[in-house]
Amino acid sequence: MIVIPAVDLRGGYCVQLVGGDYADERVRLDDPAAVAREWARVGFSRLHVVDLDAATGRGTNSDVIRDILRDATVPVQIGGGIRDEAQIDRAIDDGASWVVIGTRAIQDEDWRGEMAHKFPGRIIIAADVRERRVATHGWSESSGLDVIDFVESLSGLPLGGILVTAVHKEGLMGGTDLPLMEDVAEASAWPVYASGGVATADDLRALEHRGLAGAVLGMALYTGALDPRRIAEEYGE
């Protein structure tokens, strides 16, 4: 299993939010590109970069993302507000190894199929989940879709993976939703990456034991609850 540090962008800063709540920001760092470089220097072999402003219609951090990609020495997956082919093309041209798409992929079955086949192995579908229902628009709305039904519907697509975020656990440092992650991993034809709530090495081992391909970590690394060097050594892949 691989651990992937998250670099979440808001207003040009690298941030960490609690429970997806923009009013509860616990971490704010003023040089996201330097943060990304540091995670690679520590030993992580992949990064997860998300434009929170684009995901919620508040703006864009595209210049910051280009800075991160320009300096990157490890593969980077980019997400947040990517809802058309031109944005996917641009992200890949700028150097992204994978593009994470959520809202439109959830709402538009034909489009997600078209994008998956146009960019085989480069698309990661994001399923942000509250109470087993898939959320959209930066966690602010519910699609009403059952997450397992949604994941099973993706089985015929040439994806690079599925990213499942337990929104109700995000940033709380109380452990992830293991039953959810286990069920998704069993239902998925593709590698599943877990996000939300990981706080201890035991949480990571539990995810690995349940067949997860990786975990995206934010708060636990930024607050020092987990030692980045030790985690990179064990899960840097």
Catalytically annotated residues? 8, 128
Q: What are phi and psi of 166, to 5 degrees?
A: -80, 90
- What tokens appear for 48 in the block? 């997860």
Under 8 Å between Cβ of 177 and 169: yes
Q: How far apart are CA 220 and CA 172, in angstroms?
A: 9
Report the distance separating Cα 18 and Cα 148, nearest Å: 25
Do the beta carbons of residue 227 and residue 158 sit within 8 Å?
Answer: no
Residues 43 and 233 sit within 8 Å (Cβ to Cβ):
yes
